[in-house]
Chains A and B, each alone.
Chain A
Amino acid sequence: MSRLVARFDVRYPSFHLSVDLDLPASGITVLFGPSGSGKTTLLRCLAGLERASDGFMQFGNDVWQDEAQGVCLPLYTRPIGYVFQEPRLFPHYNVRSNLLYGYKRIPSEERHISIEQVVNILGIEHLLERRIHKLSGGEQQRVAIGRALLTSPKLLLLDEPLTSLDIQRKQEILPFIHRLHEELHIPVIYVSHAISEILQLADRVVLLKQGKLVGAGALNEVLTSLEFRGNFGSLRVGAVLDANVASHEPQYGLTQLEFKGQFLFVPLQSVAIGQPVRVHILSSDVSLVVGRTNSPTSVLNILEATIIEIREKDQSSVDVLLDIGAPLVASITRKSLANLGLKSDQRVFAHIKAVALNEELTE
Chain B
Amino acid sequence: MMPSMLNTRLLSAGLMATVGALALSACASKPPKQLPPEPGPPVTNTMPAPAPVMPSGPTPGSQADFLASTGGRDTIHFALDKYDIDQVSADILRVQAGWLLKYPGKKATIEGHADERGTRDYNLALGERRANAAKAFLVSLGVDASRLTTVSYGKERPVDVASTEEAWAKNRRAVTVTID
The answer to whether A and B assemble together is no
Seen from chain A, the residues whose Cβ lies within 8 Å of a Cβ on chain B are none
